[in-house]
Structure formats: C-alpha cells, structure tokens
Amino acid sequence: MKISLVVPNVAKHIHGETFEPLGVLYIASGLCTEHEVQIVDSFNRKLNLEETVKEVLSFEPDVVGISITMSPTALFGKKVAQEVKQALHIPVIVGGTHATFAAEELALNPSIDIVVLHEGEVTFQEIVNCLQGDIALSTIRGIAFQHDGNTLKTQIREPLKDLDSIPFPARHLLPDHRIYSRNHILSSRGCVFKCIYCASSAMNQYRWRSRSPENVLEEMEIMASEYSSTFYFADDNFPVNQERTLTLCREIVETNLSVTWACLSRIEFMDDKDLLQAMARAGCREIFIGAESGSDPVLKKLKRTYTAEDIKRVVKLCNDTGISTTVSFIVGNPFETLEDVRRTFEVAAELDTPNVAFHIFTPYIGT
C-alpha cells in the first residue's frame, strides 16, 4: 500500500526552531519495510494547506495518516482530512496527543475514519492490516471510530514495554533533513509527574518507560554519522533516572562519541553537581528547565518541591559546570495574582542566564 503521513502546520509560527516529527517517523519505521511511505512535514517545512494537499494527492496514496499532536494544528489537520477525503475517497486516520483526547469529536467528523489513541506504532500497523482485509476493525485495540452516529472506542492498548524493540525513526523518508535545527532523539517515553497543565502523563497512561543506554547510543552513533553530531533529547525529563543517565553519559565518553546535546529537565533533577559534570563531559551544552513560576505560593499550588531560591541556585550550578540554561515560566495561572507575576519577572531577571522564556497559561484538552 501507499501511505501518506502528514504533520499539520499552524496558522503562525512563533519561532524558528525546527524539530524532527518523531511521532510519524516512528510510525513510518514500522511500515516502510512492506509499504511505500510518504512523509509531508507541513509544520517544519511551513507548507500551507494548498501545498500540503497538492503534495499528498501527487503521491496517490491508498491511506492517509494525520498527526494531530498539538492542539493549534488541529484545524489545519481537519482541513487536510476534508480535502483528501473529497479528492480521493480513501481512509483517513488521525492520531497524536490532541487526537487522543478529542477522539469523540474527531471520530464523528465525516472526513475522518479512525482515531488512534495514545501510542500508534502497533495500532497503525494493525489498521493497515485491517484495510488489507487481514483482521476486523473491532478487534484492534486503542482506536475510536463512528458507529451508528456515536463514537465507539475499543479496548485500550497497553503502552509498549520494550522500547528497544521499536525500529529507529525512519529519517531517510524526510525529503530534506537539513531543514531541522538538530537531531531529535527520544530515550524515554512518559513522565513520572502529573502536572495539571501538561497532557504527557495521561497520553502515556501515567507510565514512564525508557530505552536502554546501549540502544540510545546506537541510534546516536548512526545519526552522528549520517546527519549531524548535534542532538536534542526530547524526553519530558531526560535525567529522571539518575543511574540510567550516568550510564549513558559514561558510555558516550568511553566510545569517544564526539557529540553535543541539549535536554529538558525539572529543577529537582539538576541540583546535583556530580550529575551535571557527568552530563557536561558527555557533551551536554544546554538544559531547558521548566521552572514555571518565581512565586513560592504558586510553586506550592503547582505541587513543586522547590522554591525560587532553588531555581536561582540550580541555574548558577549549571553555568558553573559549563552548561547553559533556558528557563521557562508560565504566567496567567487561574490562581495567580499580579504580585505573583511580578515576582516571577523579578526572579527571571535575577537568574544567571540570558535565556528566559515566558508562556501564557492556556488550557489544552487532555490537561
């Protein structure tokens, strides 16, 4: 079969950072050995609706999958589904974080046939098998579809346990890998926390799973050889398991893999000089830290175990180790006062870093 996988665009890009669409790349990796797969990354290539649809139609696919991960891309994704359905009358499948939590609405959309819930590698493959007549749709776990005017959800699919068994993302299917700012790699899935403003834990069914350091290192070696030696770990909290992090860092050093990388973390995990030094030796040059607020009362309501003073100390500790930081804050929380916002700005100004990001609180589906 010919399968087109689409990453929808948004109305307006707010920054120039580009990132590999790991979701569809993982889906494609399990399909491309038996099927002809196209990836249309409208988000990072900044394609408009007309350009996106034209590229999909020129491929003449038998089925189209649309990754609606971020809520701001949902409208674009639904428009792509509508255009494709009207032109080709083929099955249209959607998946991703937003799609998972908006399944009831999307399954009733006449342009959408099936919604994939949560992880999609196994589920999408089974849907393709169903379209080939091998299995019945109702036997597939982790999907939603319209039945007699209502949304029917099948039994939930358990999260994948052995992440090492998943083929590496099919980066070779990207038309031009040079457009991406750096290599993106996912060494774990899920998050051990349940932040009220984040859907990641629910998307991963409140489970954290990791790849082995050896498996991660193998992918890094391939990527450094074929693409570039600059990496970004897209894990929700890269150093959450200190033993695993130290093992990976040690193996990077022992194999003389010359790479530089960045990662995401919370304040709690970075308050460790030995860990930071090990990460720096392994090539870590930047950490994106979710501090969230400079107000201690707000941090307490967000169930944070650190204070504003801890934020300042950890940022200085990172800098002293040779690792730069980008610290992000959320303003506009429902329980936040103007004094809380003022305090957040003050703390941000006091930080030993020029890189500070502010995000306006926005309630998204799934949070």
What's the pLDDT tens digit per position in 257-290? 999 999 999 999 999 999 999 999 999 999 999 9
For residues 274 and 198, state if they share a domain.
yes
What's residue 194's pLDDT? 84
Closest C-alpha among 362, 93, 100, 66 to residue 205: 100
For residues 209 and 327, state if they share a domain.
yes
Grade residue 16 by pLDDT with cuts at 50, 70 and 90.
Answer: low
For residues 248 and 335, state if they share a domain.
yes
Pairing between strand 355-360 and 183-185? Answer: unpaired
Half-sphere CA count of 170, side-chain side, radius 13 A: 21
Is the pLDDT at 15 greater than 80? The verdict is no
Grade residue 7 by pLDDT with cuts at 50, 70 and 90.
Answer: very high
Asked whether residue 164 is domain-assigned, the answer is: no
Residue 107, domain extent: 2-153
For residues 126 and 225, state if they share a domain.
no
Contacts 24+ apart (CB under 8 A), 70-74: 70/10, 70/96, 70/97, 70/98, 71/98, 71/364, 71/365, 72/10, 72/11, 73/7, 73/8, 73/9, 73/10, 73/43, 73/98, 74/8, 74/98, 74/99, 74/102
User: CB–CB of 3/38 below 8 Å?
Assistant: yes
Using a pLDDT cut of 70, give the percent of the chain over it: 98
C-alpha to C-alpha distance for 248 and 219, rounded to whole angstroms: 12
Closest C-alpha among 41, 33, 321 to residue 177: 41
The pTM score is 0.94
Contacts 24+ apart (CB under 8 A), 301-304: 301/333, 301/335, 302/195, 302/196, 302/333, 303/195, 303/196, 304/267
Of 116, 133, 153, at which residue does a domain stop?
A: 153
What's residue 303's pLDDT? 85
**DSSP code string of 209-220:** EE--HHHHHHHH
What's residue 213's pLDDT? 97
Lowest mean pLDDT among 17-26, 37-46, 199-208: 199-208
Grade residue 14 by pLDDT with cuts at 50, 70 and 90.
Answer: low
